[in-house]
Amino acid sequence: MATRVLQDYPSVSIQDQTLEGIVDFEVLFGRSGPVEIEIGSGRGTFLVAQAQAFDQTCFLGIEWARKFYRYTVDRIGRRGLNNVRLIRTDAAQFIAAHVPDGGVDGFHLYFPDPWPKKYHHRRRFFSSENLARMLCCLKPAGWINMATDHQGYFEQMQHVAGQAVEAGQVQIIPFRRPAGAQDGEIVGTNYERKYLKEGRPSYTLTLQKQ
């Protein structure tokens, strides 16, 4: 079988070094519409299904791993999906430096790296600091949809979310099941399908900005 040659699609990929200041999403996508950001896009399974199902929504995927980023850019480009953009960068830094306040309708965080060792917990994306920044970026009633297979990380998510609930910043709402989820799935990503075969449970949490 021939090796698939991955292509770059300038209409899809965003070069981090070219960004200065706050991003104008209408310029970035060449259109207006709701904006949703996926943190950790992996191989793009969620983005492809969701972008096809909601073609009026603008989806921005953030991925750090170069091989996954290149694969997803190629996958999106081959399908001609004009409502998706990808950037390879650190998600926390990008959101802090480039995402406008009140500019995002929703965030997606599916099966993020759990950094299971205790001394690595500080590297987990979902933290009080990053939640505070995401809440600034969200529009009124905007939401954060999350799923993980790691019980320890889920407990941290619950703890951080609980503090925000007590502060009146968010409320917990039902999980928003993505369009690509098949029977027995909650999200429909490659990681989830792998974990289902292994018999590992998944945990979900969705927060809505107050």
CA distance 126 to 144: 11
Separation between Cα atoms, residue 32 and residue 57, nearest integer Å: 9
Q: Shortest CA distance to 148 belongs to which of 10, 40, 9, 33? A: 40
Between CA 140 and CA 44 the distance in angstroms is 27
Buried b (16+ CB within 10 A) or exposed e, 54-91: beebbbbbbbeeeebbbbbbbbbbeeebebbbbbbbeb
Query: Coil, strand, or helix at residue 78?
Result: helix
Q: Is 113 a catalytic residue?
A: yes
d(CA 190, CA 183): 14
Q: What is the C-alpha to C-alpha distance for residues 145 and 7, in angstroms, rounded to an integer?
A: 30
Residue pair 38/188 in contact (Cβ under 8 Å)? The answer is no
Which residues, 6+ apart, have CB-to-CB distance to 171 below 8 Å? 165, 207, 208, 210
Question: Pick the catalytic residue: 90, 105, 113, 183?
Answer: 113
Any residues with CB less than 8 A from the CB of 169 and at least 6 apart, and which?
135, 209, 210
Residues involved in catalysis? 113
